[in-house]
Amino acid sequence: MGRSLLITALTLIFLLMESTNADRAANTSVINAMTYSLQYAAHDAALQIDPIEKADGYIVFRRDQARNVFEETLQRNLRLKEDMMPLPNTLLDDPVEIIFEDYVDDSSGITFPYNYVNDQYGIYKTIFGPSVIYEIRVKSPKTSKYSYDGYIYKNVIEQYPLPN
């Protein structure tokens, strides 16, 4: 009787550990996919500049165009629909939300290097040229009813690729 209780207890502990490992693996996969997709999307957005301003020696982002390109690249890389809902059989179950965007360029009236600070989203970085800043969040994937029920947040600051 004692052995069967011990085996049952150890089996339960093993199953809980495996469930935790499954959650960690799912979250790690989502975090990695978000990181790389966010980098690609921000890079593409940072290339959307006004050519007339560039001819005058200024880097000024076309904000609407940058946002559209950012969303399109995220959709391609994370396999999302146009409404940012994930396609079936992908890593994500819930929509990706763009919760913050900002543009620091020559129209902002600042000089570089510039200490960018956003306390609300915990973004602190010294930027050395015109940059786009985005933060996204997605609901953590659930592998069981005991899984973490929260959001995964990622932010990125991408500088316009100035020649060295």
* Average pLDDT score, the chain: 89
pLDDT tens for each residue of 61-84: 999 999 999 999 999 999 999 999
| Domain parsing of the chain, residue ranges | 18-159
pLDDT tens for each residue of 96-108: 999 999 999 988 8
Which residue from 149, 147, 151 is spatially nearest to 24, judged by alpha carbons?
147
Q: Buried b / exposed e across 139-151, counting CB within 10 Å, b at 16+? A: bbbebeeebbeee
Q: What is the pTM of this model?
A: 0.84
Residue type, 109: G
